[in-house]
Amino acid sequence: MEARLSQLLLLVLGALWAGGNTFETHIIGGREAAPNSHPYMVSLQKAGTHRCGGVLVHRKWVLTAAHCLTNRIEQLRLVLGLHVLGDPSLTYRIRKVVKHPEYKEAPSLQNDLALLKLDGKVKPSRTIRPLALPQRRQAVAAGARCSVAGWGLTHQGGQLAKALQELDVHVLDARMCNNSRFWNGDITPDMICLAANAKNQAPCKGDSGGPVVCRRGQVAGIVSFSSKVCTDIFKPSVATAVAPYTPWIKKTIRR
Ligand SMILES: *[C@@H]1O[C@H](CO)[C@@H](O)[C@H](O)[C@H]1NC(C)=O
């Protein structure tokens, strides 16, 4: 039964590969989000350049991917309420970085989450507002429909998006995503594999750290990694599921 399900999914993916549309626009293949429709969206920047996405999950805290934090925190800024990169917007310094204690970079990323404490407190408004955390047991099922948002590359080897992009994706079966044709054992039970509905659509460099939203008003995942060729259908993009980490996030914020 499971083998058959995998085969079926492979066939479906094969069909998308062969017959999907070929235009590329943004995220890769996404669409421009309505301005301020993602009021929890954060741009993590170094020297005015966007590096990663992030999600405001509390008036003082941003959730992002741990692998985004390769610079000293004095060099980084968090920009909130932004739609077009470079537009003037509310900017915070980072007071504290808390990477997940079991974050691992190699052989593949694991527990790729970090909490960033703002050096101030957000006053919630129409354009800047935290997104709720899921309950610990709120797993995201295969087949669930989600969306990702980010300012990442709009073409392979191309440039960052100017305006925030969003893309509809669905959750792949984790065992299939983990098999030898796909991520070959790199997928842990705390990850979510995502596929777009057509080929030439995928999150790409610069979308890491951004939110995966499956139920309205809740952050289900944080974009973590994909292949160098972002749209490689045998290397679907992978997010860290947030629900298993909700207790750690709440504990860190309370402390
Ligand atoms: C993927 O495979 C690895 C290695 O066999 C295993 O440790 C891991 O738990 C698997 N992940 C899932 C989601 O089953």
Exposure string of 172-197, with b = 16+ CB inside 10 Å and e = fewer, is: bbbebbbeeebbeebbbebbbbbbbe
Q: Are 39 and 81 in contact (CB under 8 A)?
A: yes
List the chain pLDDT tens, one digit each, 255 residues. Answer: 444 444 444 444 433 333 333 333 358 999 999 999 999 999 999 999 999 999 999 999 999 999 999 989 999 999 999 999 999 999 999 999 999 999 999 899 999 999 999 999 999 999 999 999 999 999 999 999 999 999 999 999 999 999 999 999 999 999 999 999 999 999 999 999 999 999 899 999 999 999 999 999 999 999 999 999 999 999 999 999 999 999 999 999 998
* Contact status, residue 208 vs residue 185, Cβ threshold 8 Å: no
Please confirm, yes or no, whether 112 is among the known catalytic residues. Answer: yes
Q: Is 190 a catalytic residue?
A: no
Query: What is the distance in A from the centroid of ligand 1 to the CA of 110?
Result: 12
Q: Residue with structure tokens 């047991």?
A: 137
DSSP line for 192-249: EEEEESSSS----TT-TT-EEESSTTB--EEEEE--SSTT-TTS-EEEEESGGGHHHH
**Residue 182 confidence (pLDDT):** 98
CA of 114 to the centre of ligand 1 (A): 23
Which residue has the least CA distance to atom 8 on ligand 1?
188
The single residue of 67, 83, 147, 237 carrying the catalytic annotation is: 67
Strands 191-196 and 237-241, by their bridges, are: antiparallel
Q: Which residue CA neighbors atom 2 of ligand 1 most closely?
A: 185
Rounded Cα distance between 205 and 187, Å, is 19
Integer Cα distance of 41 and 150 in angstroms: 8
Between CA 244 and CA 137 the distance in angstroms is 7
Q: What share of the chain is helix, strand, coil (3-state, %, to 5)?
A: 15, 35, 50
Which of 109, 177, 178, 180, when mutated, tests ligand 1's pocket best, judged by the most ligand atoms within 8 Å of its CB?
Answer: 178
Distance CA 245, CA 255 (A): 16
Please give all residues whose beta carbon lies within 6 A of any atom in ligand 1, as ranges: 174-175, 178, 185, 187-189
Atom of ligand 1 nearest to the CA of 178: 1
Of the listed 50, 100, 207, 208, which one is catalytic? Answer: 208
